[in-house]
Structure formats: C-alpha cells, structure tokens
Amino acid sequence: KNEVEQSPQNLTAQEGEFITINCSYSVGISALHWLQQHPGGGIVSLFMLSSGKKKHGRLIATINIQEKHSSLHITASHPRDSAVYICAVLPTPGAGSYQLTFGKGTKLSVIP
Amino acid sequence: EPEVTQTPSHQVTQMGQEVILRCVPISNHLYFYWYRQILGQKVEFLVSFYNNEISEKSEIFDDQFSVERPDGSNFTLKIRSTKLEDSAMYFCASSEAGWVNTQYFGPGTRLTVL
C-alpha cells in the first residue's frame, strides 16, 4: 500500500509570502491530486496531475515521478488561503486496489 | 456551476440504528465515490461505483455498508447497524470519467453515533 507523507504538518505564514507544501509517496502512481479542505470541512479539488506542472491563478503544482514527490506552491499568499491542503495518490492500474490514498494534510494559516 | 449535494448535513443516531446518507452527484458524471473522515484524521476511501455496481471498495467497507443508485439522480450510502466508531464526516464525490479525472466533492454529512 502506498504511504503518503506530507510536510510540514502545520505552516504559518505572513500574508504575501511564497508557500511550499510537499508530498512524498512510496509506490509508483498514475495520478496525484491536491485538495483543499476549508475550515468548515468542505473539500475542493485543486489539481490532478500525472507529470510536469500545472498552474491555476496563484497556485502551482509540480510532480517528479522519478523522485515520487510533488509540491504545491502558493504565490502571494492571502488569509483566504488558510485551509488544510491534502495530497492524494492513485496507484498504477494492477498495483493493488485502485483507490485514492490520502495524506494527513498540511494545515496552513496565513496571517494578515 | 454544477455541484454535488449531500443530505442531511448532520445526522445523529443511536448505536445499532440504520442510517442512509444521500448524495446527488453532478448530472453528467458517471463515477461516484464515498469517503469518510474521522475527526482529526485523514480522509479514507470507502467505495467507488460505476455503471450501477461497485467498482472498488476498501477494507472499511464491510457488510454493514451498502451503496445504491435508486434513481437517476441519487446515490446513497447505507450503514445497517451503526457503531460508535462510525462517527465521522462522510463525503460523496463524483467524476465525469473515472479515477484519473477531477473529483467533485459534496459538502459532507457529519454522522454522530451515540
């Protein structure tokens, strides 16, 4: 089973700072999801990627398949970015049960 | 923008009772999922559903759980005899075309078993 590790567990930043959240996994994957969980509990999908880099607004997600590592970057952070950011991975087909395995999440607090 | 909806938002039940959690996926989506998140813990996969049958299920999804798509719009999760440890937030999600696609999550149902 894939082990998904996120770092840091908690992150406090000043408004405007550049933020990086990391995700490592132990077994090869077919896709990786970055999700945002709001303080109220709701979950929003930010990115799904299987290679390279994706950008949406101030958010950038990268993945290095060889190193089994992905990063989520937030540029010009804002207090409304405060949330828990979750990494989830999907195994390659045939590599056991085809389901998402989630990390524990990184809690981000952005202070004005 | 289309969204996944879930009802109720909060359900309180007594241990041993049956509960049904309801979800309305996005209308043109074909794949449906249930996840749970025990308070303070990570999200866990329960089951995926496609073409009116279960496509994958986790070890958590034992005989006390079942899913159904009773009509063209609803997707339900039934827990037959609730236990204290079933207390969690349950999220429904849907995607247009399978796992390697963006999943859209509902707001969740908080289940409290007393």
pLDDT tens sequence across B47-106: 999 999 999 999 999 999 999 998 878 999 999 999 999 999 999 999 998 777 889 999
Q: Which of A20-24, A41-45, A54-58, B46-50 has the lowest mean pLDDT?
A: A41-45
- DSSP character at residue B33: E
- Residue B50 near chain A (CB below 8 Å): no
Q: Per the structure block, which two tokens stand in for B108?
A: 């969740």
CA distance A42 to chain B (A): 5
- DSSP character at residue B98: S
Residue A109: name the closest of A6, A2, A9, A3 by CA. Answer: A9
Mean pLDDT value of segment A92-107: 86
Classified as helix, coil or strand, B9 is coil
* Residue A38 to residue A100: CA distance in whole angstroms: 20
Neighbours of B41 (CB within 10 A): 12
Interface test with A, best of B45, B55, B60, B89 (most A CBs within 10 A): B45
Neighbours of B114 (CB within 10 A): 10
Beta pairing partners, B96: none
